[in-house]
Chain A
Amino acid sequence: MGRITILLIEPSFLIREGIKTLISQSGKPFNMEESETTIVNLSKLLQKTKPHIVMANPVLLTDISFPRETNDDLSQIQYVALIHGQIEPKVQGRFNFMLPLNADKPTLIKKIEEIYEACSIKNQEKESATLSERESTILKYVALGLTNNDIAERLFISSHTVMTHRKNITRKLGIKTISGLTVYAILNKLIKVEELQGTQ
């Protein structure tokens, strides 16, 4: 399971800092994105940050219809309300989780773990760290210096498909550049150093 991105929407600097500390102490692999307000640009903000979780002051999210129906990635978002006291049931219904700001630390940490579990289950099927056979083949060609078009021709697939495979390879391996992928391919004996002669 990769990192989970949290988008935090809360006007109070102190509360934002507190949430960030809590999140980092939970020890889970979270990325934080922050915003002070912004109801107006919510969908833009979501497009830009692509969060798995939105933690927000419910006041900032009352009057908008959540973009649940929009595209598939964003419809998976878990909404967490940062609540100070009582909250209207109508508002409550919009959120998947409630985080009471006056709770004690163990309760808060437990809540964060619950939220994390909910996300991990949903995203699990997308994540697998090993390369498929197709991906290994493509990685080998990339390492040998072939362009996306060359690879597409050899494998009788569209160059768009090659791009998708390459994105997946980069995400799985955590290596972005062609020369980095080449080193990986040699270390894992997908290609030999001698094969590289004249390609670079």
Chain B
Amino acid sequence: MLITGDMKMADVIHLNHHLLHMINRFGIQLGFGDRTVNEVCQHYDVHADFFLQLVNTFHDPSYFPLNELQNFPPGVLVDYLHKTHQFYLEVKIPEIEELIAQLETLSGIDIDHIKLLEDFFRQYKQELTSHINKEEQRVYPYVKALENALFTQNPDMSNCDNCREYSIQQYEDDHDDVESKLFDLKNIIIKYMPAPKDSRMFNIILHELFELEKDLNNHGHIEDLILVPMVERMEKEINQLRAGNTVM
């Protein structure tokens, strides 16, 4: 079912509560009353069309309005991706870390096993963090500099330190190992970790890992299918601008 601007925000949450994290990322908080999506967006000063496209992309993986999404200002997209990163590093990962640490207090559990899990999750966190930092330090400033250069029609980007020599082609697809680690962690818990008598805590952790995975997949989807083509288009425009300047 397509989510539209005239739906009540409360109904959207009833329809798919997984969207809550995403909605929070836009700064939107609960207590919607009977306000529609459009009204809530306006209240929080959020670009409603952009919001709807992202929410629908998340809600229905087969929905992917490439052309519409690509017409949004790159800055808005980068801000969203940045907030997603913050959510992972500042909220989700510490939450899961805390849950894993709590396992030590369960009775009948082998502390050495929990240490293994903690260690594995620490490695995962490191890899995710370095992957995110790379994007934050290299890719996003580059996208913003491109946007600015096109806006001012001045192709000189030398004031952006990290942008010289950079091109989106270097944007490697190195999500791979980070993804595999998360996949492994789930299987270790599901298949191989000896479960305590009461496996509720394990269930909660698994639930969190599945949610995180879904969110990361959506994030990667947006990067690969929207951000990269968008930047390629801007690079082309900049090159045309540069070519034009030298002719003159």
Binding site for B on A (CB under 8 A): 173-177, 179-180, 183-184, 186-188, 193
Contacts and interface: CB of A to CB of B under 8 A. Distances in A.
Given A184-B192, A187-B192, 14 more contacts: A176-B183, A176-B184, A177-B180, A179-B123, A179-B181, A179-B184, A180-B120, A180-B181, A180-B188, A183-B116, A183-B120, A183-B192, A187-B113, A187-B116
Contact of B184 (A175, A186, A188, A193): A175
B93 to A, nearest CB: 17
Interface of B: 112-113, 116-117, 120, 123, 177, 180-181, 183-185, 187-188, 191-194
A176 B192 contact: no
Nearest to B184: A180
Q: Secondary structure at chain A's binding surface: helix, strand, loop or mixed? A: helix
B192 A188 contact: yes
Contacts, number: 44
Contacts of A186: 116
Contact of A173 (B112, B113, B187): B187
Nearest to B185: A180
8 contacts: A173-B191, A176-B180, A176-B183, A176-B184, A179-B181, A180-B187, A187-B116, A187-B193
Nearest to B183: A176
A20 to B, nearest CB: 10
Contacts of A176: 180, 183-184
Nearest to B179: A176
A193 B112 contact: yes
Contacts of B177: 177
A177 B184 contact: yes
Given A184-B192, A187-B192, A187-B193, A175 B187 contact: yes
A175 B193 CA distance: 13
B191 A174 contact: yes
6 closest A-B pairs (Cβ-Cβ)?
A180-B184, A176-B180, A174-B187, A175-B184, A177-B180, A177-B184
